[in-house]
């Protein structure tokens, strides 16, 4: 099983590793480059990362029983505000209005191959 899947699009402060939610770092505007919306170029890069990940999952589907995301939409992602408060992230397949993103379309398209 792969659980709690999401892909951040934001810079990782000080090469932070792990997911200890007790860690919290104050940052500068460079650490929150997309406070209002995600640029198309970053949408494309995120979609490519999801596509690569799910191609790998499909390649090994005989060994994978389940893939579970860590949330449904960007609006409710635990990555909003972590590890830097008031930061806006876009790590899931659905946007803040629960509309499918390009990443969703790329993943779904793999099913028809």
Tell me: the pLDDT tens digits for 58-84? 999 999 999 999 999 999 999 998 888
Q: Is residue 18 part of a domain?
A: no
Q: Is residue 19 part of a domain?
A: no
The mean pLDDT of the chain is 90
For 1-113, list the strands marked E by DSSP: 2-5, 67-69
Q: Is residue 30 part of a domain?
A: yes
Q: Is residue 17 part of a domain?
A: no
Q: Tell me the sheet residues that pair with 67.
A: 2
Continuous segment of H or E residues that includes residue 95:
none
Q: Is residue 80 part of a domain?
A: yes
**Average pLDDT rounded to a whole number, residues 5-29:** 74
Q: Is residue 56 part of a domain?
A: yes
Backbone angles phi, psi at 5, to 5 degrees: -75, 130
Report the share of the chain in percent with pLDDT over 70: 87
pLDDT range class, residue 20, cuts 50, 70, 90? low
Residue 94 belongs to what domain range? 2-8+26-111
């Amino acid at each position: 099983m792969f659980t709690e899947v999401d892909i951040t699009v934001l810079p990782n402060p000080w090469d932070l590793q792990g997911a200890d939610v007790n860690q919290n770092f104050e940052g500068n505007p460079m650490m929150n480059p997309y406070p209002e919306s995600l640029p198309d170029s970053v949408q494309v890069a995120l979609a490519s990362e999801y596509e690569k990940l799910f191609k790998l999952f499909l390649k090994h589907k005989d060994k994978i029983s389940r893939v579970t995301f860590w949330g449904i939409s960007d609006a409710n992602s635990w990555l909003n505000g972590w590890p830097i408060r008031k930061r806006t992230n876009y790590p899931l397949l659905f946007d803040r209005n629960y509309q499918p993103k390009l990443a969703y379309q790329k993943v779904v398209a793999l099913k028809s191959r």
